[in-house]
Chains A and B, each alone.
Chain A
Amino acid sequence: MDLPFLVTQSLSGLASASSLFIISCGLTIVFGVTRIVNFAHGSFYMLGAYLAVSIVPRLLDLHYSLPMFLAGIVAAAVVVGLVGVVMEVVLLRRIYRAPELFQLLATFGVVLVIEDLVVTFWGPLDLMGARAPGMRGAVDILGNRFPVYQLFLIGTGVLVLALLWLLMHRTRYGVLVRAATQDREMVGALGVNQAILFTGTLFLGSFLAGLGGALQSPLIAANSHMDIAIIAEAFVVTVIGGMGSVPGAFLAALLIGQLQAFGILIVPKATLVLVFALMAVVLIVKPWGLLGRPEAPATRAAPEGIANLKPFGRVERIAAVLALGVALLLPVFGDAYLVKLGTEILIFALAAFSLNLLLGNGGIVSFGHAAYFGIGAYAAGLLAIRLGMAMLPALMLAPIVAGLFAALFGVFIVRLSGIYLAMLTLAFAQIAYAVAFQWVGLTGGDNGILGIWPPDWASGRTAYYYLVLVFAVAAIAALRHAIYAPFGATLRAARDSAVRADAIGIDVKLYRLAAFALAGAAAGLAGALYAFANGSIDPTLLAIPLSIDMLAMTLAGGIQTVIGPLVGAAAFHTAKDFFMPLTDYWRLLLGLAIIAMVLAAPQGLAGGWARLRSRFSGAPA
């Protein structure tokens, strides 16, 4: 490798770093002020690219010049910023009092809606944006050609950093943003109008996402998959840099850009896992990211999650018995497909319930719960196919394997808290995904492994349904017992105040680790049951979309109640199954349903029920 090559390659790295920074700094600012994990940020990036594809050529037709091009880019970004404002005013503002995670669910609904709207407006074909006038060509750098536009991108990244610094340090708005990032409640207590602050921040964040997308439009064709492709990476940048830190995001983007530019020379197939491996290493060494600060312990905020645990009242007991009865009789009154659907609902109910052991009961937010679901599925599949093990022993061993992996990852995960913990769970899930994807010899790669069917006695839809019913109900009952037992109470104590729990002699990390392993094992059982239900395994079972689905199920049901996730799993999966055959735009409908539910029942479905009940009985919620 000669010097000229090293120079151009690192310039390539700088150019992608610069784009990544512009996108990520918007995300980090929004999170810093509002504490919203904005999944829709990737969608705003995509919108920016599509708008630029539409706007820029029209302006260039008027007058073919660089200023017109730049005006088009900025116009696209401003429109996206306004879309962000609409989202804040119409949706987010109504649910600031709901649990923080619930806002994540709302933004996830927005992701689904925007994805389908984009295809409706712009059509399914990829759309290439116009090249910038005067920047079509390349310049000679030490004998190698390098695109002028990429140099322009590098400059733009630095410019955005400088302008943001000025905004943050030389304006009143910037002071408020920084203050809110450090201590949101205090800013509110001092009489700052939070509504305007939040709206402004959403505008700024969405503007930056749109700007990032618009600037990419001459390089990559606008397509309806860009949102998912960018969002995970943008999260990684903000977390490595430290959530809320703009200079941190810049540093992290630089690191990732260079790592990718040179990493692919050494290990070309490492492209899937590189950034996530970096994030895992950074979080293990520096738990708050490179330039982040430890989150202030949330002492003033009311704890989120399962609050006052009451045993089932008469109404709930009747409902539970009825639900179990319906489940038992489902194959009698339902047709074969309903049985299949029921099987999957039971499996996802178990997975969501295990997630809520962490989420609602432990205050441990996992963005990567599908990892344990997938590891369980792979364990069962590999044991059955590679070792020829029978189904039942494979179903017994799979949760143990998943639990062991959860414990292994958990050792690193429970050292963190809050959003950093969540992102480390995501990193480990992505690493597990990459292993399943690329260890072709063992896992069959992305084609997966086929032929994982139950033995003859359990192969009928009804027989397998009852098998799943037995396993799922037993596991859910065991987990529910753990929540009601002192173990669960200890977890809740650690959730509400880790400091006080520690002071009375509770080994907080050990308890959290145990919860993590237990939840992982239960998710693993669900995954194993899923593998035998569908006959095949592949990496989608460990992938981010499934983790998000599980979060959506849990949150939709409500994390304050014990049985919420079961209701959520049933509602979410039924809704998906209902919308999918109706139209190509089922994502749009599902997204709208999620948004409607978030607005109507900001405590989740079961949470809404609990509130109704306390209103009628006059007891405090």
Chain B
Amino acid sequence: MNTRIDRRTALGTALGGLAAGIAGLAGRPALADGAPIKIGELNSYSRLAAFCGPYRNAMQLAQDEINAAGGIKTIGGRPLEFVFRDDGASPGDAVRAAEELLTREKVVMLAGTFLSNVGLAVADFANQRKTLFLATEPLSDAITMAQGNPYTFRVRPSTYMQTKMIVEAVKGRGIKRWALVAPNYEYGQSAVANFKKLMKEAVPGFEVVSEQFPAFGKIDAGATVGALEQSKPDAIFNVLFAADLTAFVREGNTRGLFENRLVASLLSGEPEYMLPLGDETPEGWITTGYPWDQITNPKHQAFVKAYQAKFNDTPRLGSLLGYVVVHMIAAMLEKSGSTETDKMIAALSGLTVETVAGPVTMRALDHQSTLGAWVGETTRKGRTGSMKNWKYEDGANYMFPEAEVKAARKG
């Protein structure tokens, strides 16, 4: 552990500490020209390794590519250096790690987090310490809406955006009797609330015949499937993911829950959640995901090739996100030509970046990026799950309406 004594604090008293703090936040230029620009990356690498491992891999890949190409040219060709820290999957540990990144590593900005409560806590911390924070993965609408702040930006499409993509994909079928199942926490509840609201507007006579909220990670699949089956819905909207999803799918397959029913399912097409399903992958679920092996965009194919060559593994959604995020940060720095927080924020607001997923713009209004998702149907290829009939949905078409943003965001 770094126990270097900071001379400024040796002046003693409160002033010393404050000075150190301010120096940390202001993103002081590093000691020498050509020293790396440090960016603090917080994530649950240990607790949520299935997503965060590939995410970090892709970040390192992108970092190496950018540095090999001459670093950040508008800032004297200085290379990028991501400093990774585990957020312990808890807000308390995350805020402490963020403090360490700011004060000891002297990072110019923070990025990362997976869980929404962790993301929100770090966002609030960034607001307090006047530091730029790029929330990469957390989906909670609150990050850019009710709890949005001037220092926080979010990359992934939010719960609202992904739910809206699903609603757009299924509303044309005119199915009215729906059963809903979601993990019992904010993500699940807000996905269900968004779904109900959007479906009510889109499908006259929309009706919820049953709702189930199993505890996250502890689904009692038999009882949940029984309860859904009993309400005889015409379609099911599913928000379960990870271990809950596999248990739910296997039980549902055995008991015929999904036969002759439309299932709309958030995130299930992401390789992280699709791979464990294996030969149990259901046919024809409408879902958001990432069909990495079928995307023909040459830039994306080059990314997949480089990723597979370096890590001997197939990319996950986390990989795509990590890669996009690093290029976004690099583009922001090129534009700002500075690591001062105000200038970076100005550069990031409204910035459009050509990513491997297509053009992505950081909307200035709510600090939400227009990174989209691939919406399609699940299918089985041999013993593994895949997607078919998919289409990349640009997030720009699914953003919160401007009036709602203005009403929700205080600042």
Contacts and interface: CB of A to CB of B under 8 A. Distances in A.
Interface of B is mostly: helix
A174 interface: no
B150 interface: no
A465 B21 CA distance: 14
A337 B103 contact: yes
A535 B335 CA distance: 32
Interface in B99-154: 99-100, 103-104, 116-117, 120-121, 123-125, 128, 140, 142, 147
B218 A535 contact: no
B85 A119 contact: no
A137 B254 contact: yes
B91 A586 contact: no
A545 B88 CA distance: 11
A211 interface: no
B9 A580 contact: no
Contact of B243 (A8, A126, A331, A539): A126
A9 B16 contact: no
B311 interface: no
A580 B86 contact: yes
Contact of A337 (B86, B88, B104, B219): B104
Contacts of A271: 184, 213-215, 218, 220
B17 A460 contact: yes
B46 A535 contact: no
Nearest to B221: A219
B6 interface: yes
B40 to A, nearest CB: 11
B352 to A, nearest CB: 30
B18 A462 contact: yes
Nearest to B115: A446
Given A260-B223, A335-B4, A463-B14, A587 B117 contact: no
B91 A540 contact: yes
A218 B5 CA distance: 55
Interface in A137-170: 137-138, 144-147, 149-150
Contacts of B262: none
A535 B212 contact: no
A259 B33 CA distance: 66
B256 interface: yes
B14 to A, nearest CB: 5
A335 B9 contact: yes
Contacts of A137: 254
Interface in B18-53: 18, 20-21, 24, 45-50, 53
B88 A460 contact: no
Interface of A is mostly: helix
A450 B24 CA distance: 22
A450 B97 CA distance: 18
Given A221-B246, A538-B117, A577-B96, A584 B45 contact: yes
B5 A333 contact: yes
B242 A5 contact: no
Interface size, B (range): 35 or more
A534 B91 CA distance: 8
A359 interface: no
B159 to A, nearest CB: 12
B49 A124 contact: yes
Contact of A461 (B21, B97, B120): B21
B328 to A, nearest CB: 25
A448 interface: yes
Nearest to A543: B90
A188 interface: no
A393 interface: no
A448 B9 contact: no
B247 interface: yes
Contact of A437 (B5, B9, B185, B276): B185
A357 to B, nearest CB: 23
B187 to A, nearest CB: 9
A536 interface: yes
Contacts of A93: none
A335 B98 CA distance: 15
Contacts of B128: 453, 459, 535
A500 interface: no
Contacts of B92: 530, 534, 540-541
B301 interface: no
A196 to B, nearest CB: 37
A297 interface: no
Contacts of B250: 128, 131, 218-219
B247 A219 contact: yes
A469 interface: no
B5 A138 contact: no
A1 interface: yes
A221 B120 CA distance: 30
A584 B46 contact: yes
- Name, among A272, A578, A581, the residue most crowded by chain B CB atoms within 10 Å (CB to CB): A581
B272 interface: yes
- Name, among A16, A220, A334, the residue most crowded by chain B CB atoms within 10 Å (CB to CB): A220
A267 B90 CA distance: 28
A577 B86 CA distance: 10
Contacts of A450: 120-121, 123-124, 147
Contacts of A261: 220, 222-223, 226
B93 interface: yes
B170 interface: no
A340 B223 contact: no
Contact of A580 (B93, B142, B211): B93
Interface in A232-250: 233
A125 interface: yes
B222 A12 contact: yes
Given A137-B254, A540-B92, A126 B246 contact: yes
A56 B211 CA distance: 36
B338 interface: no
B100 to A, nearest CB: 5
Interface in A91-146: 116, 119, 124-128, 131, 136-138, 144-146
Contacts of A124: 48-50, 53
A445 interface: yes
B256 A448 contact: no
B95 interface: yes
Contacts of A461: 17-18, 20-21, 99
B353 interface: no
A336 B50 contact: no
B313 to A, nearest CB: 10
B296 to A, nearest CB: 27
Contacts of B394: none
Interface string A328-352: 0001111111111100100000000
A15 interface: yes
A153 to B, nearest CB: 9
B22 to A, nearest CB: 9
A463 B14 CA distance: 6
A229 interface: yes
A337 to B, nearest CB: 4
B226 A9 contact: yes
A221 B275 contact: no
A1 B215 contact: no
B230 interface: yes
10 contacts: A138-B256, A226-B243, A260-B220, A332-B10, A336-B9, A340-B100, A447-B147, A448-B91, A462-B16, A535-B125
Q: Which 5 A-B pairs have the closest CB atoms?
A: A462-B17, A12-B222, A124-B49, A336-B103, A450-B124
Given A272-B215, A536-B91, 18 more contacts: A12-B223, A128-B246, A128-B277, A136-B254, A137-B254, A219-B251, A224-B49, A331-B9, A333-B5, A333-B10, A336-B99, A448-B91, A463-B14, A534-B95, A534-B125, A536-B125, A540-B91, A584-B49
Interface of B: 1, 3-6, 9-10, 12-14, 16-18, 20-21, 24, 45-50, 53, 85-86, 88, 90-93, 95-97, 99-100, 103-104, 116-117, 120-121, 123-125, 128, 140, 142, 147, 184-186, 189, 211-215, 217-227, 229-230, 242-243, 246-247, 250-251, 254-256, 272, 275-278, 280
